[in-house]
Structure 1
Amino acid sequence: MVFSHLQPSLFLFFFFFSFCLNPSVSDPRATQAALICTNRTASLLDRQTFISNFLATFDILTPLVATQRFAAVINGTGNTTVYSFGECMKDLDQKDCNLCFARCKTQILKCLPFQLATRGGRLFFDGCYIRYDDYDFFNETLSPADRAVCAIKDVGFNQTLFRANALELTRNLSSRAPKNDGFSTGKVERGNVTVYGLAQCWELVNGSACEDCLTNAASRIASCPPKEEGRVLNAGCYLRYSTRKFYNNSDPASSSIGSNGGRRHLAVILAGVSSGMASGLILAAAFYSVRKKLLKKRREEQLGPLLATVNKSNLNFSYDTLEKATNYFASSNKLGQGGSGSVYKGILPDGTIIAVKRLFFNTRQWVDHFFNEVNLISGIHQKNLVKLLGCSITGPESLLVYEYVPNQSLHNHLFVGRNIQPLTWEMRYKIVLGTAEGLSYLHESKLRIIHRDIKLSNILLDDDFTPKIADFGLARFFPEDKTHISTAIAGTLGYMAPEYVVSGKLTEKADVYGFGVLVIEVITGKRNNSFSSLDSVSILQMVWNLYGSGRVFEAVDPVLEDNFKEEEASKLLQIGLLCVQASAELRPSMSIVVRMLKDEHEVHQPTQPPFLKPGTLETRLVNPTAMEKTSQPDSQTGSSGNSMTQSLLYPR
């Protein structure tokens, strides 16, 4: 920082001066002006492809807007081609642009529920704009969906003069913006009545097209005065007036009629600074305090009932607190990355160590569903389940805050970690039992929760190697009056029960199957990778064959050498085979599994697990009406795994 090398008095000067030069409060203006969804929907066969193309365009659109403040992206072919565009208002700084766009892109998803897959939508925020469609609209100036949006309340003073000032201002802006790179701000101040305004053409609309668009907008907005605010939302431009100053002073051509007080104001500022640095610092602190209160009020207005619910639950963390706790998400604090987000280690001001998960936008989670998950997990307290401490929803991205589990994941210890002492037999037994107890609690608690993604990387290990089940992003309620629930398929290949993959019918026995695979992996030290390589052999088949010949203990991880009990090893592998039986009805409940592990229940003879040849499962997974197959990094590691993420794509 340059300021660190300045004399203290100069630092105070620039600190105060930087605030006074721009009296407007920094604000991403992420207030929705209008959401316009077309009435055209994708056909049943095209829906999934169209949605996938839409999401792919936004994966590209977002970083482009973050660097150049606008972007246009095309993805797909034929009937499933998606055209997307996004832009921020030119007076916003980059940080506010990012904040606005982050909120805007979440809300545009409301035009895209899977049941309808609307083929076009546009969302106007006061600070940014997003549009997608199934045709090339990039140079479109006007459209039938264009509209004026007027405030409800009339001004409470000279309405005739206010109307005259508003119309004069919008005419001035609409004529000046096309000559000023498609953007202009300003005010008209006359007779103690002041009106502020902003005009902007989208980046791809320029020259005469920009002029035509804003001329039309000035005509449309004439229907709004004497309302306090008016906006025109055209395909190619945006025009707004208001009784309050809402823009930043970034337009050199900004107009002001009836006032030349700007220079006098600056002179007063300079005189005040030079005469008393202490007074300036006090004023700056007061200004900063007011700024924070205004920003907080605006966030409360934007989030409405959701923020109130978060606050009542005592789960709310400020984004700034979590950002600082992780040293601004420094790579050195990164613990791992999965298909839904990255996890970082953080330290709160009180010294509490936490794990912060940054959810990727392409996980397709809506804010309300995000908080439903928070509500679900925050009510769970059991020693073998990772505890959720809270969340942040007011910043530019969604964050989840968990207790910190120091010994990383089971996957790390078995297959990734170097210079790590191998897990002893006692540790492995403890991990298997603790994981079973955690799942039993989920299945038989009042809420009845199915995890849906039990795997090595979702089992974290505490200081004493107590296992903790993590990552409830795919979890589902299982109502008591249901024999199963039908969902879009989600999970990780190799751990998903065959009946769930084929039919989408979900029961707690899907978790039992995943647990069975995990048990066999932990005991054998081998991965169930039969679905990622054409030449690989399923460890389920290997263990089954050894079980049939009475030599199942030979499957135990060779790194243990002879430091295990053959009888216990045979029992655990037999329990694993019971859990991965092809028939869901034959698999034991998790509470029975716990009793088996504690020698409180007989361990029955298993039937054959499902042996699907590599490629068979792949063929069933590409049915476009059922699910979407993607390849994503495995949680906690960054290694590639085959994951199913359809449930994150659609509203639950």
Structure 2
Amino acid sequence: MMGIPAVAGWSSWQRRWWRMVAILLFASVGPVTSDPQTNLLNRGCSQYNATNLSDFFSNRNATFADIRSQLTNSTHFATAQQSRTSDPVYAMAQCRNYLATADCVACFDAAVSLIRNCSAANGARVIYDGCFLRYESNGFYDQTTQPGNVGICSNQTASQATAFNAAVEGLLTDLVSVTPRINDFYAATTRGVIGSSATVYAVAQCAETVSESGCQDCLAVANSNIQSCPPRAEGSAIDSGCFLRYSDTSFFSDNQTTNITPFLGGGESSKKKAIIGGVVGGGGLLLLIVAFFIWYLLPEKPKVAQRGNILGATELQGPVTYSYKDLKSATKNFSEEYKLGEGGSGDVYKGIIKNASVVAVKKLAVTTNRAKSDFEREVRLISNVHHRNLIRLLGCSSKGPDLLLVYEYMGNGSLDRFLYVICICFGGWGRFNANGRHENEKGSTLKGYTAPEYAIQGQLSEKVDTYSFGVVILEIISGRRCTEGNITNDIEFLLEHAWKLYEIDTYSRLVDETLDPNDYRAEDVKKLVEIALLCTQHVSLRPTMSEVVVLLLSDRSLEQKPPRRPTFVDSDNKISGDTSTYTNSSTANSVATATYTEFTGR
């Protein structure tokens, strides 16, 4: 209530009149509304406690105080750390940008109050509609999508389901596309539902410490998780590094929307580009007409095969067609001097093509229909792959006595050469030398090492690397290739064999028999087998490589979170094992109280 001015000489009726005016003014303005949006979506505590509680509580309190100070100064994202003791604390908090500073701080305070219930746990998280708070015993600021990501749906159903679903899908697709390209990784916008007066409100946000590509990957997973919600009136998707939400009810004001049109290619900038493009295009058309007449009047020259150029193999052009003659010359007639190795479906040679570029040329046998099938499959498959950890297929040659594939040249050789030559990890792996077969007898370079979601569905992410790494661990332990059958069953691949042994607690039988049992510890073998099996879980449960490193360096056992049965791909490309998809959104209530291990794997 507004105060009554103490003016000397005012009579009682004048004071009563002023009080009435004050009441009317207050009633006309209305109370100041506040909404920190503390509807709880998810919380969890680490299963491990800090060791030095005095240092830990001091560090945690200091990071919380630091973050609160930052949020009070009108920022919506803050990190803080106290890392110079035996129990370090790294903390991060983020509010949705549409929250007022007071509401952001109030949401944070509520999260701090709730997260303290985790007592001495060395890691914890709380996620509200309006904000989230997380702390760990090690750095996590660059984490994006982690196991435990999930979609959460409301119980109410929106009207005009078909039109509503279309509006939600279109709006979320646009938000997922533009948000990683916006400076603070945040966008909030609306879209009308066709044929009704309803409106869809949506927001997308990533932690400001992740990369643009990390934000994009995280939101793509979030969008996948939230797709099962419509026609429910509201849905949210949570992950370690991002947040996605839609609703048929406004949860931010109209003046807080983000203009995403420029990021979708619309707006004045596109008009200017169109004008410039029209002028340039008109001039280009005249040049094309002149060039056509010059070409038409010149005598025709004999056609020659396109010469391969390593710089010409781009994602837009696809594989380059090389002439057989050029590649034969580049490899000195496929001489032993230039031979790099051999595999089940052909030999590989170093090649120096005429632009001085060094390539690797794989010569496939042409005596069987299977070889031709391998050639067509490999060109079709690998030419569509662009991944930082895979060599690229630059081109091919199909005109000549041999079918040839041209790859990027790896000057340091293949990873398997080092894995199977150098004795590593337990002091004695390596029954295979550098001249051993690189592929299995079926001629496939991918079978066994490739994650099922990529081998079957073509879904490529950094977690494909995690799967492959898990298989390599099993190869190191057993001393044999992943695609080799065991002694009793020639069609049972290494991963499947390892799981069966682990399931009956006889994992020690997996160890290479040539090793001296005194050279390794049984508990180390068990830990490595568990990590390998964890790496080969379904993609939603699979850790990132950074988490794998933490597991390898940690002295802690994985018994509190044992691996599930891995997903297998058999010789006919059929999937078996754990084929579950991401957690269904209908389990939102149980997810809200899920254990901490979902995000961290600890």
Class of the TM-score when normalised by the shorter of the 2 chains:
0.3 to 0.5
The answer to which structure, 1 or 2, has the higher relative contact order (CA under 8 A, 6+ apart) is: 2
TM-score for the superposition, normalised by structure 2:
0.36
TM-score for the superposition, normalised by structure 1:
0.33
